[in-house]
Amino acid sequence: MLQNWLILLPELSLLSFLPVAWLVNLYRESKTAKTFFTLSKYFLGAALVFTIVFYNKSVWSGWWLNSRYSTLFKVAVYAVALVWFYFASKWFLSKNRSSAKFYSICMGMLLSFGILLSAQNLLVPAVLVPLLCLLTWRLIPLYCDDEKIEETSRLYIRFSLAFWVLLWSGVLVLRWQTGSFEYADIRYIFALEGEVNWLTYAAVAAIIGTLLFMMAAAPFHFWFVGALSVAILPVCGFLTLIPPFVYLSCLITLMTGVFSPLAQSLQSLLFSFAVVSLFIGAVSANRQNNVRRLFGFSTTYNLGVMLLGILAFHSNSVVSAFVYTIIYVLAMMGIYAVFLGFKSKGDYVSDLDDISGLSEAKPYIAAAFLVFMISLIGIPPLLGFWGRLSLINTLVSEERWSDVLMLMFALVLMANAFLQIIRKIYFEPLHHGFDRTDKSIYICLFINLVLILISILNPSYLLHDAEIVLSGVSQ
């Protein structure tokens, strides 16, 4: 019994933050934004350590499985969240606003994400996805007075309700068809029967569609891009860096561990979402004047790239998707750190015109911004090149030449959108001054750039180790 509780220490650490933060917010008089960051740092750090210690220990067979695969994704998610929480504290300190709600909602979401990544039963996502929708709904308009954000959050929750119905319908149909909610049992029944009826395909499509909505793949990207346009920076960064990574892992788990006998039939469905995300993201990014909105469409484009890469759902494709996602997260972490330097007269600016001549006022931030954008485009020798090369190698090995051409065409469109930003910050005059940037932002940008440099010099740190862990995901 005691061993079971010890195995659950990562989740208990995240859960314990919520009552402690509530008590601190209620009774402590001298509290700042840093107070709740400090609390989250200790509890999330403990969860990260316990996750590594108990990576191969599991409880409640049929419900929960801690493996090298789930641990890899959990460690990545918790580490990214820890870094972003630090950046978020800078925003709250500069605005002199309480961060209690932000950290509480985000820690609640991280707790749900951790459970979701280890789930081995369809009832787990059926319960947690609606909860995550509610938490996201409360997170989107947090501390934002813009009328557009209220409209976006209302639209999001309405569509969420529709997808809850789809998710539960799909789960219950599969229970009726197979007699079980467990991943292993459902996969066994599918493999045994060989062919399944249209109702089963509809149920599986409903579950996958819900994950794609949560991931913000096109055409379900509207809520994500709308939120990034006007939400506060801490919210934008969290929604960009964490949820897509988690839901991609869940999609891989379901496709390789539950629906693998149907994978070939489901490829056309995922392919259509990949293509739509790829081109809606790339084309729409070229029409934006809001920098955050532009990078929101960039995320949609990158989700399309990831979906296109994992269609085969074998070991090579999973490794390529993981490597590409990690590189995307590193680059976007740097991008959002740069956004924290876009401050003029106390306000964080986001329009393209507002950052004109940035290289003149903030040469180091402009240079870092340039490096991260080039990495996202995938120009050698930067880190993004290795991620894109890994993914293209997978497509070439599968002789998917049309997909390679489509990927390269969309890349040209996306690169053109980034060139608009580069032209603004390097080749147009400075419109107004920028406030002094916190030294910690420069330090974090430097560390991020050093990580990119190390990965350039020895990419096997990322590629080889990920391949070892993920090589057994799909057999």
Judgement on whether residues 237 and 301 belong to the same structural domain of the protein: no
Q: Residues 473, 436: one domain?
A: yes
Is 265 part of a structural domain of the chain?
no
Residue whose entry in the numeric block shows the structure tokens 């007699």:
179
Separation between Cα atoms, residue 287 and residue 293, nearest integer Å: 10
Retrieve residue 210's tokens: 């819900």
Does residue 245 share a domain with residue 340?
no
Cβ 237 vs Cβ 81: under 8 Å = no
The pLDDT-based confidence of 157 (bands split at 50, 70, 90) is very high
Q: Domain for residue 282, yes or no? A: yes
Would you state the structure tokens that stand for residue 407, as one six-digit string?
């990927």
Residue 45 covered by a domain: yes
Q: Has residue 281 been placed in a domain?
A: yes
Over the stretch 346-362, which tens digit does the pLDDT of each residue have? 788 778 888 888 888 88
AA letter at 307: L
pLDDT at 470: 57
**Residue after which a domain boundary falls, among 226, 258, 290:** 258
How far apart are alpha carbons 226 and 296 in whole angstroms? 9
**361 contacts 433 by C-beta, under 8 angstroms:** yes
Query: Are 126 and 30 within one domain?
Result: yes
Pair (208, 320) in one structural domain: no
Q: Which long-range contacts (CB under 8 A, 24 or more apart) does 54-57 make?
A: 54/6, 54/7, 54/9, 54/10, 57/3, 57/6, 57/7
Q: Are 325 and 317 in contact (CB under 8 A)?
A: no
Residues comprising the chain, all counted: 475
| Strand duo 343-344 + 347-348: pairing | antiparallel
52-66, 248-262, 453-467 — which is least confidently predicted? 453-467
Note the pLDDT of residue 454.
63
Looking at the structure, tell me whether residues 306 and 198 fall in a common domain: no
**Which residue range is the domain that position 395 belongs to?**
276-475
Report yes or no on 270 lying in a domain: no
Confidence (pLDDT) at 475: 42
- Tens of pLDDT along 376-410? 887 776 666 767 777 777 788 777 788 888 888 98
Least confident of 21-35, 224-238, 315-329, 415-429: 315-329
Q: Are residues 229 and 335 in the same domain?
A: no
Q: Which residues are CB-contacts of 417 (< 8 A; sequence separation ≥ 6)?
A: 282, 285, 286, 288, 294, 297, 298
Q: Domain boundary residue among 229, 258, 287?
A: 258
Residues 203 and 333 grouped into a single domain: no
Whether residue 367 has pLDDT greater than 90: no
What are the pLDDT digits (tens) for 267-297? 888 889 999 999 999 999 998 888 999 999 9
Among the candidates 194, 227, 258, a domain finishes at: 258
Domain assignment present for residue 196? The answer is yes
Q: Which residues contact 230 (CB under 8 A, 6 or more apart)?
A: 144, 146, 148, 149, 152
Residue 263 placed within a domain: no
Cis peptide before 381 (omega within 30 of 0): yes
Same domain, 295 and 350: yes
Q: Is residue 266 part of a domain?
A: no
Average pLDDT, the chain: 85
Q: With 50 as the cut, is the pLDDT of residue 124 above it?
A: yes
What confidence tens digit (pLDDT) does each residue in 435-450 have? Answer: 787 777 888 778 777 7
Same domain, 144 and 289: no
Looking at the structure of the chain, the number of domains it has is 2
Other Cβ atoms closer than 10 A to 78? 23
230 or 194: which carries more pLDDT confidence? 230
Distance from C-alpha of 124 to C-alpha of 302, rounded to nearest angstrom: 27
State the sign of the Cα–Cα–Cα–Cα dihedral 67, 68, 73, 79.
positive
Three-state SS sequence of the chain? CHHHHHHCHHHHHHHHHHHHHHHHHHHCCCCCHHHHHHHHHHHHHHHHHHHHHCCCCCCCCCCECCCHHHHHHHHHHHHHHHHHHHHHHHHHHHHCCCCHHHHHHHHHHHHHHHHHHHECECHHHHHHHHHHHHHHHHHCCCCCCCHHHHHHHHHHHHHHHHHHHHHHHHHHHHHHHHCCCEHHHHHHHHHHHCCCCHHHHHHHHHHHHHHHHHHCCCCCCHHHHHHHHHCCHHHHHHHHHCHHHHHHHHHHHHHHHCCHHHHHHHHHHHHHHHHHHHHHHHHHHCCCCEHHHHHHHHHHHHHHHHHHHCCCCCHHHHHHHHHHHHHHHHHHHHHHHHHCCCEECCEECCEHHHHCCHHHHCHHHHHHHHHHHHHHHCCCCCHHHHHHHHHHHHHHHCCCHHHHHHHHHHHHHHHHHHHHHHHHHHHCCCCCCCCCCCHHHHHHHHHHHHHHHHHHHCCHHHHHHHHHHHCCCCC
Q: Assess whether 244 and 308 both reside in one domain.
A: no
- Residue pair 245/199 in contact (Cβ under 8 Å)? The answer is no
Q: Is it the case that residue 230 has pLDDT exceeding 80?
A: yes
CA 328/CA 455 separation, integer angstroms: 13
Closest CA to 213 of 224, 204, 203: 224
Q: Report in angstroms the alpha-carbon separations of 423 from 292, 353, 380, 426, 427.
A: 17, 11, 21, 5, 5
| CA dist 225 → 46, 133, 218, 231 (Å) | 33, 16, 10, 10
Better-scored residue on pLDDT, 302 or 469: 302
Residues 291 and 231 in one domain: no
- pTM for the model stands at 0.91
Among 49-53, 152-156, 307-311, where is mean pLDDT lowest? 307-311
**pLDDT for residue 381:** 67
Dihedrals phi, psi of 343, to nearest 5 degrees: -125, 125
